[in-house]
Amino acid sequence: MTQKLDVLEKKISINFKNKSLLTNVFIHRSYLNEHKNFPIQSNERLEFLGDSVLSLITSVYLFKKFPYLAEGDYTEIKSAIVKTDSLADAADSLGLNDYLLLSKGEEKGGGRKNKNILADCFEALIGAIFLDASFEKAYQFVGSFLFKNKLDFIVKNKKYLPSKSQLQEMIQGKYKTTPQYKLLEQSGPEHKRVFKIGVYFAGKKLGVGVASSKKEAEEEAAKKAFENLDRL
């Protein structure tokens, strides 16, 4: 394990003083179920810390680099970049799954490709870098391996906006009109309603969304609409 971690240290250009802390990053709780006497705890505490550090890093980065944006934009961009998929992609690009210590069951169940496990591992690594080195090192690491050109792309192309806003902006900009949302169906008891909503443009149904609120169903319909824009 130690030799393998040397490769990771070179890749991220960080040499850990506390090697046990780095090992801790990769210990999934399932592994400890089968190795009761393992001397190091699971990565859950590091993941908790890393999540908070990442939140601060993202806030500082956005504040410095995009001073012209509103607070609401910061919130949306932050959600877009620190979501599970983005973190899992960053973990995958670094090959963090190679270092994971999992139970046999988790291994067989595809744990090394599990996005939640990978995202948690990436956050745990941020927490470990923060503890072993500094906030500045963690900031540089996140900038290099999570943000890269991705965050700039999200901001430039307004990918942080909800799908409904993106769809309206696109159609309004091109056709000088807006898409229409129609309630197609609602079912279930009053305390557990399910709404089915379609989004239409120029008489064509672009997408359908189903959710427990009209707002969520409209957002889901807008997401689906982007898959059918060639029909416009």
**Token code pair at residue 175:** 């056709």
- Identify whether the C-beta of residue 89 lies closer than 8 Å to the C-beta of residue 154: no
Closest CA to 124 of 9, 28, 7: 28
State the residue for tokens 């709404």: 195
Candidate ranges 56-60, 80-84, 165-169; pick with highest mean pLDDT: 56-60
The CATH code belonging to domain 2-156 is 1.10.1520.10
**What is the spatial distance between Cα 203 and Cα 212, in angstroms, rounded to a whole number?**
26
pLDDT in tens, 113-146: 999 999 999 999 999 999 999 999 999 999 999 9
**Catalytic residues, which ones?**
51, 123
**What is the spatial distance between Cα 179 and Cα 170, in angstroms, rounded to a whole number?**
10
**Token code pair at residue 134:** 């500094």
- The CATH topology of domain 163-231 is Double Stranded RNA Binding Domain (3.30.160)
- Domain span(s) for CATH 1.10.1520.10 in the chain: 2-156
The model carries a pTM of 0.74
pLDDT in tens, 165-204: 888 888 888 889 899 999 999 998 888 899 999 999 988 8
pLDDT given for residue 138 in this prediction: 98
